[in-house]
Amino acid sequence: MLYLRKYKNIGGKTTEGKGKERLHLFSSNYLISTLPRLALSYYERLTPTKGLPIGKLAYNEQKVAAGLFNWELPEKKFKIIADIFKKSLPSVDKPNWGFDILAVADEKGNNIINSTADTVLLLFGAEDIARRYNSAAIGYWQRRTLWSDMFNQIIRILPPANRPFSLSLNQPTDKIRERINDFAEVNILLSNDLMSNLITAGNPKIKVIDRNRIRVLSPDAKLEFQPLTNNNGDYFAGVEVKFFSDRLPLINSFDFGLNYSEQGKKSEMVHFTAIRDSSIYFKAQAEASKRQVFGNEEVTLTASNIGDEAKYTWYNRSGNVIGTGTDIKTTPTSTDTYILEVERLDNGYKSYSEVEVVALAGRIVSLSPNPAHNELKVVYQLSDNAKSAALHISNLQNTLSVSYPLDINSTEKQIALSGFSSGTYIVKLLINGTVVYSQNLIVY
């Protein structure tokens, strides 16, 4: 028994049916293809050969599949595959494997749906193939589609044990066509054995995200690998796309390939299509309760709720996670830029926002009195790393400028104002020769 609740629309623009429409469900499977090193997919039928009846589809009707279907599932085989994935790609939560291909046909197996983004079509003669081999050829079976709610695809590779090899994304490098890197985070997924042989030193065009993910920072980035010391056949690579929710491209479909190359051999490539849902738009917004702090002052970082179920992750400027949730507290020890990442849980779309909090090396607590006439009392605070400090007072025209050294072990300074004419002045606090704080003073 299997619920198909994640698939809402299995219709689309259809021809007028006769009331005998059938649902065909397939699972992707690996097949050693004519390519020596890349294992492409074929699709194994999970529904009966003639499909399952779903009732008449009227012209342009959107049919909803939310029923309970009954058939034998190859559960043992899928469990074995799932165990291999779990062992080889532990940080990839949901590799695109399983009940992922839908098609709708009439009682003779002929396709009745035009090509849409959420339907894979039966090819001519597919029913006959399925009857003989219990599998079916599917339209565009060599071009994987990364749906908005299914954003990673895994392939199996068979690298040599004695030669270096590389993986790269094949996409436009000119500035005329839109590139997926400008509108999405693109990660190459690597199984454990591949990850351990990846050469990361001296490659600024890639970034290690976790134990199985490599972020592609440039369209011409290339992942170089050392020769493998073993060849157990469980090497997996894949592509993961997470679109930026606040960047809308002119086109919603991006074609690219995962390219495999090794020394002295012809390169091989598997094609992918990533489709952006243009109806999805949200923008992350980060705020800080204080933009300037001194000493051990605490700051609350707040994220605006986007209204959908999402994950809120906060990073410091170094890229380290400092907390999760819409509200977190932190105590800055130095000036830092905090980065908010908002990721919708249903489709992986992301948006980022930044907020800077300045950790002051010192500050003027008060100028009293202000306005002042004869004398001024300055109360100040200095950080522990202050080696020298001074006050600098100047008028707005910068025709008068006076400096006063400060005792770094004190917190107050008395200043006589007998030589100052009436007007507005700027009082600056300098620590180790750098201005860290300023405040206006009125003399009458």
pLDDT range class, residue 49, cuts 50, 70, 90: low
The listed range with the strongest mean pLDDT (18-27, 115-124, 288-297, 310-319) is 310-319
pLDDT of residue 115: 39
Span 33-44, pLDDT tens digits: 445 666 654 455
What is the predicted pLDDT for the residue at 394?
92
362-443 shares the fold of 286-360: yes
Better-predicted residue by pLDDT, 168 or 72: 168
More confident residue, 444 or 78: 444
Closest by Cα among 138, 137, 130 to 50: 130
pLDDT, position 56: 53
User: Token digits for 57?
Assistant: 């589809």
pLDDT (0 to 100) of residue 39:
60
Q: Are 240 and 152 in contact (CB under 8 A)?
A: yes
Q: State the number of CA atoms in the 13 A half-sphere of 340 facing the CB.
A: 26
What was the pLDDT predicted at 48? Answer: 63
Reported as a pLDDT band with limits 50, 70 and 90, residue 330 is very high
Counting residues of the chain whose pLDDT is more than 70, the rounded percentage is 65
Residue 202 scores a pLDDT above 60: yes
Task: Inform me whether the pLDDT recorded for 64 exceeds 60.
Answer: no
* Predicted pLDDT of residue 393: 94
Mean pLDDT to the nearest integer, 5-11:
35
CATH topology classification for 286-360 = Immunoglobulin-like (2.60.40)
Task: Report CA 64 to chain centroid distance, whole Å.
Answer: 30
Highest-scoring range by mean pLDDT, 149-153, 241-245, 300-304 = 300-304
172/264: higher pLDDT:
264
Sequence ranges of the domains in the chain: 2-75+87-141, 152-275, 286-360, 362-443
pLDDT tens figures, 79-102: 666 677 778 888 876 554 434 445
pLDDT of residue 231: 60
What local confidence, expressed as pLDDT, does residue 66 receive?
38
Is CATH 1.10.10.10 correct for 362-443?
A: no
What confidence category does residue 177 fall into, taking pLDDT thresholds of 50, 70 and 90?
A: low
Query: Each residue of 336-369: pLDDT tens digit?
Result: 999 999 999 877 899 999 999 998 888 899 999 9
| Res 439 pLDDT > 70 | yes
Q: What is the pLDDT of residue 429?
A: 94
Mean pLDDT value across the chain: 75
CB 321 within 8 A of CB 313: yes
pLDDT tier at 26, thresholds 50, 70, 90: low
pTM value is: 0.66
Does 249 sit behind a cis peptide bond, omega within 30 degrees of 0 on the bond before it?
Answer: no
Confidence of residue 109 (pLDDT cuts 50, 70, 90): low
In this predicted model, what pLDDT tens digit does every residue of 204-256 receive, in sequence order? 999 999 989 999 998 889 999 998 876 665 688 888 888 999 988 888 878 78
Residue 208 has a pLDDT of 94
